Amino acid sequence: MAHSHSHSSGQQQNDGNARRLLLAFIITAGFMLLEVVGGLISGSLALLADAGHMLTDAAALLFALLAVHFARRPPNARHTFGWLRLTTLAAFVNAIALVLITVLIVWEAFVRFRHPQPIAGATMMVIAIAGLLANILSFWILHRGSEEKNLNVRAAALHVLGDLLGSVGAIVAAIVILTTGWTPIDPILSVLVSCLVLKSAWQLLKESVNELLEGAPGSLDINALKRGLRREIPEVRDVHHVHVWLVGEKTIMTLHVHVIPPHDHDGLLEKIQHYLEHHYQIAHATIQMEYQPCNGPECHLNEAQAEHAHHHHH
């Protein structure tokens, strides 16, 4: 009964996330179009850079919306984890798009720096300020929902925060152009905005690639986990065949444990599960208990790295 209850609260949280994301998406996409038009009218590259930033933002929000939607679809016999991986794939594609946009903006900035173009400072100013207000609004909407660790909502909120800086860059450029008429400030600041974009893209790329390559979560030290199990639970002699990976933020683990034959098999299993959940927040672990020591080439798969140095002279 407790289980179904927790699920329904998760469902409400998801609905809340979806509502917030949808709202932020509408605001961001709307103002992105405004900035594109404004950038073309005023001739400002900084506005276009910020619009590029907002485009990736809108994409991030859309991916996050899809992720919430897919997380609702129950697992089936063919996709036993449901559709959670799609969100990781989406983040990966998004990161690559961000990099491409950055390259385009920097290239254009280089061209304009050599051949400065006239810029309508006042138009630029008005639109940059409108963009800033839009970003503040979306960030506020999203930030209220990012207490729980949802990678997509977090990523979306971070994007929007980066956007704030982008809009500030465009405003600064507009002020300089209005006061001094020095137009090269516009491409210079568009390059700075692009660096912000690149930074968030790199982070996203690293996290999503690690997850797509079945990497362990960055914070997890498998050797420490094995030592801890042996230390805390006296019946455990050895831990091997450890595999840890992530599916849409959920840590999944499989392991073999060589144990002294216990009086209470299920009790020992329970202990091991509790240890993993309590110390490592791994709720989804599959544990194979063995009474004979493991022998075979794979048994030392995990030890091989640790002891490689010792056995080198053999």
Which of 1.20.1510.10, 2.30.30.60, 1.10.150.130, 3.30.460.80 is the CATH number of 2-212? 1.20.1510.10
Which pLDDT does position 86 carry in this prediction? 76
Over residues 61-116, the pLDDT tens digits come to 887 787 777 777 777 777 777 677 777 887 888 788 888 888 888 898 898 888 88
Over residues 142-185, the pLDDT tens digits come to 877 555 556 667 767 777 777 788 888 889 999 999 999 888 88
Q: Which residue has the higher pLDDT, 2 or 283?
A: 283
Cα-atom radius of gyration of the chain, to the nearest Å?
26
Place of tokens 């794939």: 89
Comparing 23-27, 94-98, 134-138, the range with the smallest average pLDDT is 94-98
Q: Is the CATH number of domain 222-313 3.30.70.1350?
A: yes
Residues above pLDDT 70, as percent of the chain: 85
Which CA distances in Å does 88 have to 43, 83, 91, 101, 280?
36, 10, 5, 20, 22
pLDDT, the chain, mean: 80
Which pLDDT does position 93 carry in this prediction? 83
Q: CB count, 10 Å around CB of 155?
A: 27
Q: Which residue has the higher pLDDT, 43 or 250?
A: 43
User: Tokens representing 251?
Assistant: 């840590």
Q: Which residues pair with 252 in a beta bridge?
A: 245, 284
Residues above pLDDT 90, as percent of the chain: 10
Over residues 190-243, the pLDDT tens digits come to 888 888 778 878 888 888 888 888 888 877 888 888 899 888 888 888 898 888
Average pLDDT over residues 30-34: 91
User: Tokens representing 31?
Assistant: 């103002």
Which pLDDT does position 7 carry in this prediction? 44
Residue 49 has pLDDT above 60, yes or no: yes
46 and 170 in contact (C-beta within 8 Å)?
yes
Q: Do domains 2-212 and 222-313 have the same CATH topology?
A: no
pTM attached to this predicted model = 0.67
Domain boundaries, the chain: 2-212, 222-313
